[in-house]
Amino acid sequence: MKTQLVYAEILDFITPTMREDPLVQIVSDTGVFIVTTVENSKQYPLDFYPVSTEAMEAYNLKQ
């Protein structure tokens, strides 16, 4: 079973906690985004949205 990934734009800065979290992927495109699991996202005070299948492929995200 695949895990649903979610993303949020990072508007301030990437914290050491984000960098060291094994369930976090940082993506930089038109902005900087944190990608993680739904459950893991609860520890970050950001607004998360589901990652689309197209984005999964385009950014080579791992579930």
Q: What digits encode the pLDDT tens for the residues 22-54?
A: 999 999 988 899 999 999 999 999 999 999 999
The pLDDT-based confidence of 1 (bands split at 50, 70, 90) is low
For residue 49, the 8-state DSSP code is E
- How far is 40 from 36, CA to CA, in rounded Å? 6
Structure tokens at 55: 């984005």
- Full-model pTM: 0.89
Eight-class DSSP state of 59: T
